[in-house]
Every structure is written in C-alpha cells, then in structure tokens.
Structure 1
Amino acid sequence: MIIHEDLLFAHGAKIGKYNAADYIFEEGTAAKYYFQIKSGTVKLNTFLEDGKEFVHGLPFDGHCIGESYLFTGHHYAVNAIAITSCEIIMISKTKFLQILLRQPELMLEINKYTAERLHFRYLISSFLVISDPIVKLEKLFDHIKDYFGFEEAYSFLVPYTRQQIATLTGLRVETVIRYIKKMHEQKLVRLESTKIYY
C-alpha cells in the first residue's frame, strides 16, 4: 500500500467498484483523481494503430495507478482497465495534493513507487530486443521475485497467469506454455498444477 487507506478516507476518498473489462481511466483524458487499488488487478495498456495491444504493467492490491499524471498537465498516455473485479480508492487531485503538502514525506513514497514502476517499464521495453523466450521469462521472474523480497529457489509463486505473462513479455501464450515446461525440465521453475514457483 502506497498511502495508508485511513489517511485517504479521512480526506474524503471514496471506493470505486469496477467489473472486469471496465475502464478506470482512458488514454487521452485528464487526470482528476489519485487511484489506489484496494483489491483486484488492473491492466495498464496502449492500443496501437494496427489494433495490437502493448501492456505496460499489471498492478494489483496496494498499488497506485496513473499517479505521475497528477504532477503534469499531460493527459493519460495509457488506459487503465480492470482485469478482475476491482475496488479502487479514489480521491480528487486537489485533495490528494493537499495531503502531500501537509505530509511531504509521502512524496518520497510516491517517488519511490514511480521509480520502481519506471524500472519495470524499462525492463519490459528490453524484451523487444531479446529473442530467447527463456531469457525473457527469467528476466521477468527475477524482477518480480526480487521486488517481493524472495531469494530461495522455488520460494516465489509467480502471481500471473500464462496469458498475463505472454502479454508482459510480448510472447504468444502457446510459447509461454511451451517454454515454462522447458524451464521446469531444466529445473529453473517448479510446476504444481497451474502454479509456477520460481
């Protein structure tokens, strides 16, 4: 959780409820709220001219989304779409900025979170030039395992479906399935039913 929920609610935050496939915000619209995910998973994406989709991330419980746009005059360059049922804490931009002015130490938390997300986006961008699917998968798994503070082999349950992994790495889902099996054979991951441990 980036900012404690009680603090947000004390300053007038509300809960927005979204079903899978609902837009939380759309590319090209102005940022009017700070959004923090109470529960659920959101997809940050861009649709390209040819109809293809580029996924920037899959934030979930405790993460905030679109926060950097509250500090610029730019409109969103991405969409935020619920991929599960979601409860999102929402507080107006004005009230959110007032909280930060009263408690500037929270700005460090926002900056740290935004920097982590930029790092993840740079990592995702590097997948465009990596041809080996196993290297792509290892880079993704290494990052999220490190982010959550796991070190031991097979100690980390990968929190993404094979479809979500495909979306993040730019691979086809069939390729992900095939190479996850190869990684299992090479003892790089452990499989238990549909679960992947890294």
Structure 2
Amino acid sequence: MIPTELLIDFNAELKEFQKEDIIFSENNSARNYYQIKSGIVKMNNYNDDGKEFIQGIFYKEQSFGEPPLFIDINYPANAVAIENSVLYILPKEKFFQLLKTHSDIHFNITKSLAKRLYYKAIIASEISSQEPSHRILRFFDYLKHDVHQSPEKFSLKIDYTRQQISDLLGLRVETVIRAIKQLEKQGEVKIVKRKVYR
C-alpha cells in the first residue's frame, strides 16, 4: 500500500515473525503501522467459549491494524502470523508524518479502510439473513474483485482453509464444505486437488 522506498525513507523497521507468533494482542496500545513484505497475517478474537472469530486475513503488500492509530484506542483484536512473515513496522508518529507530507498515500489508505468497512457491513448483513452458499460466494467475490482484481472465471485460487472460511463467516465447517460442493455443482466454483477456484 505504501511504497517500500517511502517506508524505508521514514525509517520503518523490518521484522521477522515465525508462524503462530503474536504481532500484537487485543487491548494492546496501538503504536505502529504494519505492512506485510512477505507472509500472511490474520486478525482474530475468541468468544467466551474459546471459538475463534477471524476479523480478516492480510497478504503481501497489505497493511493491517490502522484504524486504532487514527482514533487513539487499543487494538480490538489480535494479529497473528499464519506463516513465517516479514513486516515493515513504522511508529505511529512517523506514520502520521508520512501521511501529512504525502496526500496521495493518505487518500489510498482512506480508500482501503472504506473498502474494508463496506465489506464488513456486507458480511454483517449476510451473516444475519443469507444462505451459507450465498455468504461464501459473496466473500469469494470480494476477494476476487476487490482484493486480487482477478476477473477471469476460475482465475482466483481461494487461499483460505474451510476452517478459516467458517471462522470468518460464522458458519460450521461442515456447512462450509457442503455449501462449496453445492457451488461447484452450480458451476460457481471449481475444485482442483481440494483447492477452490472462483
């Protein structure tokens, strides 16, 4: 999202995280901007019964955890490396300085946050009112068109496990498996060697 040369100019630190390392925890003070150089990061919470709810999964060149920086609150979720990852870490003060001097970057970040809010609103309404297969398809289309810009049919490999999809959408794993098979029969997705393509 922010060009790496610019992050380096503002003295961003490069830090490695191993799979399952916690980058920050729920209720920690928000002190840094994080951008992924390589790897995958998830943001999650756990309910009182210990069930995980995944707030989002972030990939190379994406950032995460920005909203609390702007409103001076603690993180509402944990950030955990799903695989070995390398992150650019920029302290909050330098991040704000960068935004003040680069209005185009500021606009891009605002646009990205707006997309995430829109997606969360869509998912919230879908969770309460739509069939599982419809929810899953909407989620896949968000990834296909908004995250990866991959318009050709079956050009996007869904890199989420069935468990991650269930945690993101508030469904049971068995329901996700059944719904994906139904979507395959309808020609909406293709399954090759257990991998789902949209």
**RMSD across aligned positions (CA):** 1.5
The aligned counterpart of 2:192 is 192
> After superposition, where does 1:106-145 map in structure 2 within 5 Å?
106-145=105-144
2-structure distance, mates of 1:130, 1:195? 27
8 Å contact from structure 1 (residues 56, 124) kept in 2: no
* Unmatched segments (≥5 aa) in structure 2: none
Secondary structure of 2:58's counterpart equals: coil
- Does residue 93 (structure 1) correspond to residue 84 (structure 2)? The answer is no
Partner residue in 1 for 2:11:
12
Deviation sequence 1:129-157 (CA, Å, 0-9, x none):
13522111111112111212233332322
Partner of 1:34: 33
Shift of 1:33: 0.9
Q: Which moved more, 1:21-30 or 1:173-182?
A: 173-182
> Are the equivalent residues in 2 in contact too, given 1:40–1:87 (CA < 8 A)?
yes
The verdict on how the C-alpha distance between 1:186 and 1:55 changes in structure 2, with shifts beyond 3 A counting, is: same
Deviations 1:26-46 (A, max 9, x none): 111111111001111111112
Matching residue's letter, 1:63:
Q
Match of 1:74 in 2: 73
1:152 is matched by which residue type in structure 2?
A: E
Q: Gaps (5+ residues) in structure 1?
A: none
- The corresponding residue for 1:49 is 48
Which digits, 9 at most, give the CA deviation of each residue in 1:33-61, with x for residues without a partner? Answer: 11001111111112222322221111111
> How many angstroms apart in 2 are the aligned matches of 1:38 and 1:137?
28
Q: Percent identity?
A: 37
Distance (Å, rounded) in 2 between the aligned partners of 1:131 and 1:3: 36
SS at match of 2:89: strand
Q: Distance between the aligned counterparts of 1:168 and 1:129, measured in 2?
A: 14
Moved more, 44-53 or 77-86: 44-53
**How much has 1:13 moved relative to structure 2?**
0.8
Matches of 1:161 and 1:90 in 2, distance apart? 28
Other-structure match for 2:150: 150
